[in-house]
Amino acid sequence: MTTRADRRKVLTGLGALGLAPTLLACSQPEQPEPPRPALDLSALEARHGGRLGVSALDIAFNRSVSWRGQERFAYCSTFKLFLAAAALERVERGEERLDRSIRVTRADMISHAPVTGPAVGRGLTVQALCQAMVEVSDNPAANIMIREMGGLNAWRDWLRTLGDTSTTVNRWEPELNSALADDPRDTGLPDQTVGNLREVLLDERLTVEHRQLLEGWMLASPTGPGRIKAAAPTGWTVAHKTGTGGNGATNDIGLLRPPSGQPVLVAAYFTEAPEATTAQREAVLAQGVREALRALGHG
């Protein structure tokens, strides 16, 4: 490929032959880089109330769009995707085993325990606990895995290894879902979340085998069909993790794959519209993602 430096050498040589002026007269001016796509969701917020945060990155063209991408949103259960990634990385370092059985006790029980509830009194493997966290958002499974990695401080420290200095970690399930306005506890930035998704799903932090395992759990998740899944263009697949909490918090993060080519990473959060129904909040979230994809040239 000819570089600018190469081109200057060519022109200098041609100048010695008296040919450079002709070449310059025929050459085309360099085209400026295309502007970054714009995303404006103010009208959507004005119609429905609440606060919407959406960040999306198109891997194929390394283009991104963002609306309130640097504002804080309660992440609620979306964190369980990254907690599973942390467990998989510990397996790769020899600090954990996917087939290790952990006894589930009555003391572990809190609300929303579709997998761990029936398992009280017996063991579940690390792999089963991670799958339960990601696929059906089992809360005791998440607390058990945080405990097994060393507690909240260890969990926070792992996030920092992603280069994430903004996400806060303060409470266990289910208290972390309170999602009060202006409460910085257990919150993150949409833009940072997209960066974290790229790190654990697409970069080489995890082995191909473990990335595929994690994405498989995300693909199998039946939660939130009215969120990112509803915004995906026809023929695209969605691997995602939802989160829902107080104050109308309705979230979804994940990876959207077109029928061919590179994926798009998305983080979407809608909050502070507690009077709206779940269906209404999910529709707002889906529309925000749909507009982000359109701004990136999809849809």
* Active-site residue list: 77
Q: Which alpha helices (H) appear in 206-277, and where do they start and end?
A: 208-220, 228-231
Q: Say how far apart CA 201 and CA 208 lie, in whole Å.
A: 9
Q: Is 174 left (phi over 0), alpha (psi -120 to 50) or beta?
A: alpha
What's the one-letter identity of residue 54?
Answer: V
Compute CA distances 115 → 54, 85, 120, 125, whole Å: 31, 19, 9, 12
Peptide bond preceding 174: is omega within 30 degrees of 0, i.e. cis? Answer: yes
Q: Which alpha helices (H) appear in the chain, and where do they start and end?
A: 4-16, 20-26, 42-48, 79-92, 126-136, 139-149, 152-160, 190-201, 208-220, 228-231, 278-295
Q: Say how far apart CA 68 and CA 182 lie, in whole Å.
A: 14
CA proximity to 199, closest of 251, 237, 253: 253
